[in-house]
Amino acid sequence: MTLQAERYRVIHETSYDYDSPVSLSRQQLHLTPRDCPWQSSIAHRITIDPVPAFTQSRQDPFANPVKLFAIEAPHNRLVVRADSMVEVRPRPFAGRLEESLPWEQVRKALAYGAAPVLLDANRYQFESPYVRVKHEFSDFARSCFTPNRPLFDAVRALMQYIYEEFDFDPKATTVSTPVLKILEERKGVCQDFAHLMLACLRSLGLAARYVSGYLLTKPPPGRPRMVGADASHAWISVYCPSAEGEFWMDFDPTNNLLPDTQHITLAWGRDFGDVSPLRGVILGGEAQEPEVAVTVTPCSED
Amino acid sequence: MPHSLLSIYPKNTDRFDEMLAEGGALRSSWQTFFDHLVAATPEQMRHRLDYVRRRIQENGVTYNVYADPKGTDRPWELDPLPLILSASEWQEISGAVTQRARLLNAVLGDLYGEQTLLKDGTLPSALVYGHNSFLWPCQGVKPPGDTWLHLYAADLARSPDGRWWVIRDRTQSPSGAGYALENRIIVSRVFPEQFRDMGVQHLASFFRSLRDSLTHWAPHEGKSERDGGTDAPLIVLLTPGPYNETYFEHSYLARYLGFPLVEGQDLTVRGECVYLKTLTGLCRVHAILRRLDDDYCDPLELRGDSALGVPGLLQAVRAGKVLVANALGSGLLESAALPGFLPGACEKLLGETLAMPSVGTWWCGEPTALEFAISNLERLVIKGAFPSQRMDPVFGNQLNGAQRKEMIDRMRARPLAYVAQELVNFSQAPVWAKSDDSHLLPRGVAVRVFVAATPQGYLVMPGGLTRVSAAANTRMISMQRGGSSKDTWVLTDEEVNCFTLLKNAVGIADLVRSGSNLSSRIVENLFWFGRYTERCEDVARLLRVGLSRLVDTGTETMPALMSTYDLCCSLKLLPVDEDGDGGNEHQSNDDKTIYQLDLESQMLAAISDEEWGDGLAGNIRRLLWVGAQVREHFSLDNWHALNRMQHHLQVYCEIRREIGDALAFLDQVLLSSSTLAGFAMDNMTRDDGWRFLIIGRRIERLIFLSSSISHFLRLESTRAAGSIEWLLELTDSIITYRSRYMTQPELLPALDLIVFNADNPHAVYFQLLDLKQYLGRLSAEQGDAEDEQLDLTINRLQAFDLSRFEGLDFSQCRNCNPCFELAGLLDEVAHAAAHLSDRLAMHYFAHIGEVGRQTLTA
């Protein structure tokens, strides 16, 4: 386990080639890594080709940096390139798993009527467009959530359960595959496993959020290359109140591990829809799948 | 008479009766009106009912029902008797709903801002964070004047003890104010003296306040480079389109308030400003009164699957460049669970006690509420707390043992998803029995009351939309489920405010308010309106020419009948023959009876056949559809003419189709067409919208005339006697011909009159000259180059030597050179006209319409 801070350079390039010219394009980008206690942005730049007529940067409702832009002249190609340098520091989670509160107590603390009101967690506690709350999900997770089990211990068991039961299969699903279908078919990609895990936790009355980010493209010598390393990655973060205040712990069900300095956080929200890296509306052109290329390299290699 | 009027009206009931006090005595506010009803004769009442029915049909008041097998437009139901509310009673209602509007506005401000209601637990976070109508990207957006709710409506019902309750809040984009207005206009004309003498409050000043307030709050920095230099802010009414259930109201209100009616595709965001796409370019929009649900308003930041919205709208709102009313996100307050928490929110946000209670509502997410709901299930209705559940209300008293257990299990498994609500016993009011003409019947009523935000505070519309249940004992009132409506008369002891916003319904040009606000979509629809009006007229006239010859077929008219039939075939007006042979081959005259029957059935089918798209019925439907797209641009009378046409079509399609009925129907269509033409020429402002309508008519007529005459010259059967006569009839030129020549129709003078004449509005040459004039004016105004191709066509026609027809015996000629060449020239004219239509579409309309728009995520 790494115990020192790591610096990474992340290049995330998305390009669209349109068959016929697009006359008007408005896009919303979640491509700027957010700062958090274990991560700082050192340098960051987004370049857009063609040059937009309008750009604006602000924070979204989950405090992620977001950039809007509009191109108001006909164009056949759009390239958005985000170039970031971030520092990721080790997270102090050792020993936390068994120390955390029993999961029923966490659920109780989050329920209506409990004091104090935990609004920051409540945001991630209910249904959202990609995450349904249904008994099918709580039934699926029930074997991990035995009475009085410490929350994070139970969540880690659920993560492992999903990792073992589900196949990683990029052809099996699309962005719009419902999470209930993922549960039935038992296959998907990182985004699907994250949504499924969120559905399980929220159906149990817990609070958990979707994290979008990156993994190191080439692993350090002697370590296996992780799944999802050549594109954006997704995992989840689970809420647990503790003596020191609120505490969120990340879990990566695709790789069955607890994210540390090899996971670079981009943004978080209720689900993918809140933080999709690029979301836009075009007038004209044809629906196209974009070319996406992500490269993450440790700065020491530069 | 009073006995018969109330003979089947119950004197005692377990409900509150709006008209009768306990013991059956009349309430004082109803006395005058009731006395009048008693005095009215059955004939008077029949006339009144008839008037209501006719006005609704002619004004086209409809309520679209998506799943209605009878088609999407269903006539609005209106009972002529108003619901009467006394001044004192109204004062109480008015105060309570004003407070509620203030409260709900404050709740929205809090939930999209500080969220103190959530932080201190006044409101459960599940009902906000878990609700799909809470629009996350709208957090932190502050609307001008801190006004989230510009138009709010409360559905009120009265319990047996006489107290009013709020049964539903409408905060998204309340419908019904326009229907209330339309009901008022009709009912005040049914009972004009009573309306005047009883001191009924008028509605118009309410709408003026709404309009003035939007103008007041619209962010408007004065003149700017892109808004055409106008001083007043541009306010538009945004509709989801003609398929929405309340589209009639959208177009009615747009016209009444003087706002352009627009769809999402009419608007575009450039930078952070919203613009209306118009013929003359982009026009800055300062305020949007929306009838589109908020989550559909911006596919970029809100629902990505919305094809109805305006990408970038939310950013324009955030930047303070446009006012959207009601504010995006206000739909959240229609949440079923919310009413139970309003008393607490009222204390907290306003420091007041909630004046009018909501119908008893319990959110099962609270353990005590869940237990209460389960033990009182028989007298409660269970609803889903979140729209995403798509749950129909479950009435506890309708559940059998197993269903009841299942419901309770569901509630226990996920209590926060359920809301229990008390069943409401509506009060009753009299309606006029439709089946006979001398009885009143009791029906449940609920009143929708409207409140508008003004800079001085919330203002209540003194009236409302009273909705009437379909049966005496129902607990649901829904216009979608077959209910009816009433006007609502609020009495006052003070002087009545007689301000009116209504335009003169007769004659004054109402089509286009000002050229600069004309959206390209509207212009395109006006163009097609012109084309379809003309096409219906042409087809109807040709079929009349044919059918009238069929009626009195003797040996003399038989050849003329055949040639008209041939022309119909050549123009592809008749349904395609299943057997493959188009019927062009003539049988011998021996079996003409069978032949005639065949002709008759084919021509009748061309009128009404639903399957046959190119027939008259199909074209009338297209005309009505296009008309509906631009409904708010027509005067009421113009609209009446369209509705009459639809009515005649419906009636004709329902009856047994005989030749006499068909001829009568064709006469009606021609009459309506000439009425529409008259409106176009006489009652519409001469702006570019009108110009496109007329250009559409001219192009269509040019195509029809030149192809008809061309076919006429080529067909063999037209050489028979009587053909030139019907050709003149077809081109509506027979009167002119007779006044000029006083002879049997001959080819040369006929061609001169219908092809080369510059004064005959049914001549080919006339259409060309007219088109040239309008197109010239259009290109001058738009700064475009003049169309040269039209000049070429005109020159070619002028160069044709008509004297070549001199001495020609048409009855004997077979494909002679003059006929052949003129026919060829006319084909070219028709082709040029079709080409002109395409070029206009490319140039003026193409930047809207079929261009695909997609939301993409990566």
Per domain, the residue ranges of chain B are 360-422, 521-845
CB B445 within 8 A of CB B466: yes
Reading the block at residue B766, the tokens are 């006339």
Note whether A127 contacts B132, CB cutoff 8 Å. Answer: yes
Least confident of B136-145, B274-283, B562-571: B274-283
B762 token code pair: 């049914």
Calculate the dihedral angle through the C-alpha atoms of B344, B348, B354, B358, rounding to the nearest 10 degrees: -40
> Tens of pLDDT along B714-738?
888 888 888 899 999 999 998 899 8
What is the residue range of A31's domain? 7-88+276-301
Q: What is the pLDDT of residues B312-361, one digit of tens each?
A: 999 999 999 999 999 999 999 999 999 999 999 999 999 999 999 999 99
Residue B228 burial (C-beta neighbours within 10 Å; 0-12, 13-18, 19+): middle
Tokens found for residue A25 = 């394009």
Higher confidence at residue B501 or residue A142? A142
Which residue out of A55, A281, A282 would a mutagenesis test of the B interface target, given it has the greatest number of B Cβ atoms within 10 Å? A281
Nearest to B786 by CA among B843, B709, B747, B734: B843
Q: How many CB atoms lie within 10 A of CB B681?
A: 11
What's the number of CA atoms in the CB half-sphere (13 Å) around residue B393? 14
In B731-849, where does DSSP find H-type helix?
A: 734-741, 747-751, 764-782, 788-799, 817-840
Q: What is the mean pLDDT of residues B650-672?
A: 86
Confirm whether A34 is domain-assigned: yes
* pLDDT band with cut points at 50, 70 and 90 for residue A207: very high
The residue in chain B having the minimum alpha-carbon distance to the alpha carbon of residue A285 is: B852
Share of chain A above pLDDT 70, in %: 93
Average pLDDT score over chain B? 85
Q: Report CB contact under 8 Å: A126, B129.
A: yes
Whole-angstrom distance, CA of residue B586 vs CA of residue B580: 15
Whether residue B516 is predicted with pLDDT greater than 60 in this model: the reply is: no
Q: How much of chain A exceeds pLDDT 90, in percent? A: 69
Same domain, A228 and A281: no
Q: B435: exposed, middle or buried (C-beta count within 10 Å: 0-12, 13-18, 19+)?
A: exposed
pLDDT of residue B465: 96
Give me A5's structure tokens.
Answer: 């801070």
In this structure, the strands spanning B267-270 and B273-278 are antiparallel
Q: What is the pLDDT of residue B817?
A: 85
Mutation target vs A (from B114, B122, B133, B136; most A CBs, 10 A cutoff) = B136
Determine the Cα–Cα distance for residues B757 and B802; give it in Å rounded to an integer.
Answer: 12
Find chain A residues with C-beta within 8 A of B272's C-beta: 54, 56
The residue ranking higher by pLDDT, B760 or B556, is B760
3-state secondary structure of A246: strand
Q: What is the distance between the alpha carbons of residues B209 and B215, in angstroms, rounded to a whole number?
A: 10
Which of these ranges, A264-268, B646-650, B808-812, has the smallest mean pLDDT? B808-812
Asked if B365's CB is within 8 angstroms of A281's CB, the reply is no
Residues pairing with A278 in the sheet: A29
Are residues A80 and A118 located together in one domain of the fold?
A: no
Nearest to B320 by CA among B227, B220, B212, B239: B220
Does residue A20 sit within a domain?
Answer: yes
The verdict on a CB contact (< 8 Å) between A113 and B269 is no
A101 and A184 together in one domain: yes
ipTM value: 0.93
Distance of residue A258 Cα from the nearest chain B Cα, in angstroms? 26
What is the C-alpha separation between A165 and A188, in angstroms, rounded? 11
Question: What are the tens digits of pLDDT across the range A16-50?
Answer: 999 888 888 999 999 999 999 999 999 999 999 99
Contact residues on chain B for A24, CB-CB shorter than 8 A: 268, 311
**For residue B251, what is the enclosing H or E element?**
helix B247-257
Among A24, A113, A284, select the one facing B366 at the smallest CB separation.
A113
pTM given for the model: 0.77
Contact B311 A279 (CB under 8 A): no
**Cβ-Cβ contacts under 8 Å, A285 against chain B:** 852, 854
Residue A302: CB partners within 8 Å, gap ≥ 6?
A9
pLDDT in tens, B601-644: 888 888 887 677 778 888 898 898 888 877 767 777 788 888 88
Q: Which of A27, A123, A135 sits opposite B129 (nearest CB)?
A: A123
- Rounded to the nearest angstrom, the minimum Cα separation between A128 and chain B is 7
CATH code (residue A20): 2.60.40.2250
Which among B125, B132, B413 has the least Cβ separation from residue A135? B413
What number does CATH give the domain B360-422?
A: 3.30.1490.270
Chain A residues with CB-CB distance to B125 below 8 A = 112, 117, 119, 122-123, 125
The single-letter code of the amino acid at A219 is: P
With contact defined as beta carbons under 8 Å apart, do A251 and A243 qualify? Answer: no
Chain B environment of A279 (Cβ under 8 Å) = 300, 304, 855-858
Whether A142 and A127 map to the same domain: the answer is: yes
Report the pLDDT averaged over residues B691-719.
92
Enter the tokens of residue B559. Answer: 């050849």
C-beta atoms of A113 and B858 within 8 A: no
CATH number assigned to the domain comprising residue A179: 3.10.620.30
Residues of B in contact with A112 (CB under 8 A): 121, 124-126, 365-366, 416
Q: Do A26 and B857 touch (CB under 8 A)?
A: no
CB B174 within 8 A of CB B350: no
Domain membership flag for residue A1: no
pLDDT the model gives residue B66? 42
Report chain B residues whose CB lies below 8 A from the CB of A129.
132
In Å, how far are A17, A207, B301, B363 from A126, measured between CA atoms? Answer: 38, 8, 20, 16
Task: For residue B532, count other CB atoms closer than 10 A to its CB.
Answer: 22
On whether the CB atoms of residues B696 and B841 are closer than 8 A, the answer is: no
How many domains does one find in chain A?
2
Handedness of CA B770, B772, B776, B778 (dihedral sign): positive
- Residues A58 and A178 reside in one and the same domain: no
Of A14, A54, A129, the CB nearest to B272: A54
The alpha carbons of chain B give a radius of gyration, in whole angstroms, of 32
Exposure string of B536-547, with b = 16+ CB inside 10 Å and e = fewer, is: bbbbbbbbbbbb
- Classify residue B718 by its DSSP letter: G
Q: Which residues of B touch A (CB under 8 A)?
A: 115, 118-121, 124-126, 129-130, 132, 136-137, 139-140, 268-272, 299-301, 304, 311-312, 315, 365-367, 386, 388, 413-414, 416, 847, 851-858
Model confidence at B849, pLDDT cuts 50, 70, 90, reads: very low
Give the contacts of A127 (CB within 8 A, at least 6 positions apart). A133, A202, B130, B132, B386, B388
Residue B311 C-alpha, separation from nearest chain A C-alpha, in angstroms: 7
pLDDT (average), residues B524-531: 90
Nearest chain B alpha carbon to A52: B271
Q: pLDDT-derived band of residue B429, with 50, 70 and 90 as boundaries?
A: very high
Residues B372 and B423: beta-carbon distance below 8 Å: no
- What is the amino acid identity at position A109? A
pLDDT of the residue at B556: 66
Task: Specify the pLDDT at position B632.
Answer: 66
B778-806 pLDDT, tens digit each: 877 766 666 778 888 999 999 998 888 88
Read off the tokens for B528. 């097609």
Q: How many CB pairs under 8 A join A and B?
A: 116
**A30 and A171 both lie in a single domain:** no
Residues 6+ apart with CB under 8 A from A142: none
Q: Give the C-alpha separation, B360 to A177, whole Å.
A: 40
Smallest Cβ–Cβ distance between A127 and the set B121, B311, B388 belongs to B388
CB contact under 8 A, A125 and B365: no
- Interface mutation target, options A112, A132, A232, chain B, most CBs of B under 10 Å: A112
φ and ψ at residue B178, rounded to 5 degrees: -70, -40
Report strand pairing: B361-363 vs B394-395. unpaired
**Interface test mutation site (partner B, options A71, A110, A127, A137, max chain B beta carbons within 10 A):** A127
Out of A23, A26, A284, closest to residue B300 by CB: A26
How far is residue B338's CA from residue B362's CA, in Å, rounded to a whole number? 9
CA–CA min distance A7, chain B (Å): 26
CA distances from B135 to B108, B302, B332, B623, B740 (A): 11, 7, 8, 40, 73
Residue B308 confidence (pLDDT): 84
Q: How many Å apart are CA A254 and CA A227, to the nearest integer?
A: 7
Q: Which residues contact B193 (CB under 8 A, 6 or more apart)?
A: B36
Please indicate, yes or no, whether residues A29 and A178 belong to a single structural domain of this protein: no
In this model, does residue B497 exceed pLDDT 80?
Answer: no
Are B853 and A281 in contact (CB < 8 Å)?
Answer: yes
Q: Minimum mean pLDDT among A154-158, A246-250, B36-40, B61-65: which range?
A: B61-65
Same domain? For A181 and A287 the reply is no
Per-residue pLDDT for B453 more than 80? yes
pLDDT for the residue numbered B226: 46
Same domain, A162 and A135: yes
Asked if residue A209 lies in contact with residue A124, where contact means CB atoms within 8 angstroms, the answer is: yes
> Across chain A, which distance is largest between two alpha carbons, in Å?
61
The SS3 call for residue B310 is coil
> Do residue A202 and residue A115 come from a single domain?
yes
How high is the pLDDT of residue B504? 44
Contact B489, B198 (CB under 8 A): yes
Cross-strand bridge partners of residue A81: A13, A47
Residue to substitute from A26, A130, A276, A292, interface B, most B β-carbons within 10 A: A26
DSSP secondary structure letter of residue A71: E
Helical H runs in B630-763? 636-654, 659-682, 688-714, 723-730, 734-741, 747-751
CA distance A24 to chain B (A): 9
φ/ψ (deg, to 5) at B469: -70, 155
Question: What's the pLDDT at B258?
Answer: 87
Alpha-carbon span B747 to B739, nearest angstrom: 16
The sign of the dihedral angle between the CA atoms of A149, A150, A151, A157 is negative
Across the interface, whether the CB atoms of B269 and A281 are under 8 A apart is answered no
Question: Cβ of B386 and A56 within 8 Å?
Answer: no
pLDDT at residue number B656: 65
pLDDT digits (tens, 9 = 90+) for B12-35: 678 899 999 988 889 999 999 999
CB of B747 closer than 8 Å to CB of B720: no
Q: How far apart are CA A120 and CA A61, in angstroms?
A: 11
Higher pLDDT, A302 or B802: B802
| Strand arrangement, sheet containing B287-290 | B261-262, B235-238, B287-290, B323-325
- A71 contact residues in B (CB cutoff 8 A): none
pLDDT at res. B407: 94
Please list every residue in chain B whose beta carbon sits closer than 8 Å to the beta carbon of residue A284: 851-852
On whether both A242 and A202 belong to a single domain, the answer is yes
CA atoms of A25 and A281, how far apart (whole Å): 6
Contacts of A154 (CB under 8 A, 6+ apart): A103, A144, A145, A146
Strand residues in B433-573 grouped as ranges (E): 440-454, 457-460, 465-468, 484-490
Calculate mean pLDDT across residues A166-191. 90
pLDDT, position B847: 42
Query: Does residue B728 contact residue B749 with C-beta atoms inside 8 Å?
Result: no
Cβ–Cβ under 8 Å, residues B75 and B56: yes
Q: Which residues pair with A40 in a beta bridge?
A: A87
* Per-residue model confidence (pLDDT) at position B858: 43
The secondary element (H helix, E strand) that includes residue B348 is: helix B342-350
Q: What's the pLDDT score for residue B627?
A: 86
Q: Return the closest-CA partner of residue A232 out of A193, A190, A202, A268.
A: A190
CB-based contacts of B591, cutoff 8 Å, min separation 6: none
- Residue whose C-alpha is closest to residue B506's, from B343, B679, B702: B679
pLDDT at site B577: 56
Tokens 């919330």 -> residue? B458
Looking at the structure, tell me whether residues A37 and A106 fall in a common domain.
Answer: no
Check CB contact under 8 Å for B269 and A26.
yes
Tell me the C-alpha distance between B150 and B454, whole Å.
Answer: 8
Considering the domain boundaries, does residue A2 fall inside one? no
- Answer whether residue B88 shows pLDDT above 90: yes
Residues B125, A119: C-beta atoms closer than 8 Å: yes
**A242-246, B168-172, B189-193: which range is least confident on average?**
A242-246
